[in-house]
Copies of this chain bind each other. A is one copy, B any other.
Amino acid sequence: MKAQRVLLVLAALAVAAGIVRTLACGVGHSAGSDAAKGASLSSGEEDQYYAFLSGGRSGSVFVAGIPSGRLIREIPVFEPRAAYGYASNEGDPRRDELRSSGGLWGDTHQPALSETGGACDGRYLFIDDLANARLGRVRLDTFETDRIARIPNLQGAHGIAVVPPDTRYIVVNGEFEQPTDGAADSPEPYTSVVAFVDPETMETKFEVRVPGNAVMADASRDGRFVFSTISNLEQGRDSISMMQFDRDAVAAIDVPAAEKAAISGKASVRNGVPVLELADSAGVLTLIPVPKNPQGINVTPDGRYAIAAGRLSPTVTVIDARTLQIVAEPEVGPGPLATTFDDRGNAYTSLYVGSEIVEWNIARAVRGASDYVVGRVPVHYNVGSLQATRDASAHPRGEYLLALNTSSKDRYLPVGPETPQNFELIDISGEQMKMLGSFPTLPEPQGVELVAARILAPKVRQTLEPPPDAVQAGHELVVRTGPRSVTVQMTAIHSVFTPDHFEVREGDRVTFRLTNVETMRDRIHGFGLPDHDLHVSLPPGATRTITIDAGRPGVYWYYCTHFCGVLHPEMRGRMIVHPQNAMVALSDWRPAPR
């Protein structure tokens, strides 16, 4: 094995330098008998950053460690996932919430992190659903979705942004323009809205109408302006017609002015939301003409500029974020889609068509110097979004850059007609960018946010506080609550469910109230029930309630679905379902006094 020998040589050199432990990313860092130790990370050597990648049509968020690129978690948001016990059982309130807000599928695009005082506070991750005009909120102490909100009057929720400094609003852009009066056969022009959502109540407070469709969004550092790229000013109804104009626009919305207008009764109210119409938005909405079907809009960390990426123009447009004047329009290469920043005044723009990242100096571009391009690095392939490490939008760190590539072509083993998506990690700490590695991902990251581990990791909870109505050990119960209903209050602790059996009759409705009474980290238990399409996941301290039909007569072994210990195979119990006319005692059950 040639590769193995080569790895050994390399690893031996690495060990000589005493640095093997910082390198364990996967294969290849073995060194004689110390290999096992050397290739492992200890707890003090964890990744520096969390990356939250939207999952696109997976409807979820993927969490990776950076710089290792390891996928460490999927957070389901708009689609049920039984593995996490998320919205997967009929009767689960979260399933009902998904269904009533738009459906059991979603298309996540842009993540955004909550901020306090202009710094990431590690409280929430917000994520949109392009398919069904929704905004999801993920708690970052538990990595679980806790709210889903429908945005009225809007189709195609795409770009989102946090309005600084204290997450005053989450801005959500509508990409799919609609008849302004909402009537299907309206002769009116199609328009869209930018929605301002309260991050706590998740209510849409007001909306600002824009011509064409609103794509990506960012906010000025002082919270004064929200910027949205606007496409299809042509009012095109088909692919070709949408590309006629050489310039579309960036919409700059004056947030205090919009608030004032919305409150003052100037707005029309549609579906309960004040909408500031085009005719009434003087002093609120400014359209800045930029080329052409623009995509990304990104505000520099210092707040001086908003930079629009041309998509169908090889240029980016630099807009003064205070005067709203265009101050430069440098050429960067074919298919610019988004821009991110380091802490040294440089911008990095993704070039979809050129399959590369271009680094350019903002100050040089603004003063018209010809040497504004600092460097280029090829990516594999067709990069969409990108993001450099930062603690918050105003605090770039200038260490790494993630490029989200839409295709990997021949980079990985073939896995059917669809090749994996592919993100790449680039070192931006030096004079020139350096490609560090490639990571296949599940479909399909459309956007990414980063937060330093030192900010977020201390806030993450390892066990949950049992709620007041949790089932307590010794107080388990099977009780017949009606002629056709039974309640089972059950606890789980390795390797026993209590009760470990109970009897019901065909036709009964069975309500489980389950508590994981473990107090140790990572002692998760699952509750799977054969042939009842029922799976519950229970972190330590968690309580879940679910009601099912008893089903056909038989013996059903409920069992733990997490490999929880050496006695895991014994962690099971029986729900015995008797025929309706069976002559059996079906008395209540309580545990023996301890």
Contacts and interface: CB of A to CB of B under 8 A. Distances in A.
Nearest to A90: B104
Interface in A525-580: 526, 528-535, 537, 539-542, 553-557, 559, 561-567, 569-574, 576-579
A88 B69 contact: no
Interface stretch (A201-209, A273-281, A435-443): A435-443
Interface in A4-21: 4, 6-7, 9-10, 13-14, 17, 19
B28 A437 contact: yes
A136 interface: no
A574 B155 contact: no
Given A460-B415, A462-B414, A442 B10 contact: no
B524 A417 contact: yes
Interface string A43-60: 100110010000111110
A57 B500 contact: no
A239 B496 contact: yes
Nearest to A499: B238
A413 interface: yes
Interface stretch (A250-258, A338-346, A358-366, A423-431): A423-431
A460 B419 CA distance: 11
Given A39-B436, A82-B58, A105-B88, A567 B239 contact: yes
Contacts of A594: none
A464 B105 CA distance: 26
Contacts of A578: 184-185
Determine which residue in A7, A57, A378 has the highest number of CB atoms from chain B within 10 A of its CB, and name it.
Answer: A57
This chain: copies in complex: 2
19 contacts: A3-B67, A10-B17, A24-B437, A26-B439, A27-B436, A30-B436, A36-B434, A40-B380, A40-B435, A40-B438, A41-B412, A55-B83, A56-B83, A56-B561, A131-B529, A237-B500, A243-B570, A409-B522, A443-B562
A312 to B, nearest CB: 7
B22 A416 contact: no
Interface of A is mostly: loop
Given A47-B412, A413-B50, A555 B83 contact: no
A333 interface: no
A453 interface: yes
Contact of A573 (B183, B238, B416): B238
A73 B182 contact: no
A377 interface: yes
A590 interface: no
Contact of A535 (B22, B32, B57, B239): B57
B411 A41 contact: yes
A215 interface: yes
B443 A83 contact: yes
B41 A418 contact: no
A415 B75 CA distance: 10
Contacts of A102: 530-531, 533
The 9 closest A-B pairs by CB, nearest first: A103-B533, A25-B26, A417-B539, A36-B435, A143-B416, A43-B410, A35-B434, A73-B415, A176-B557
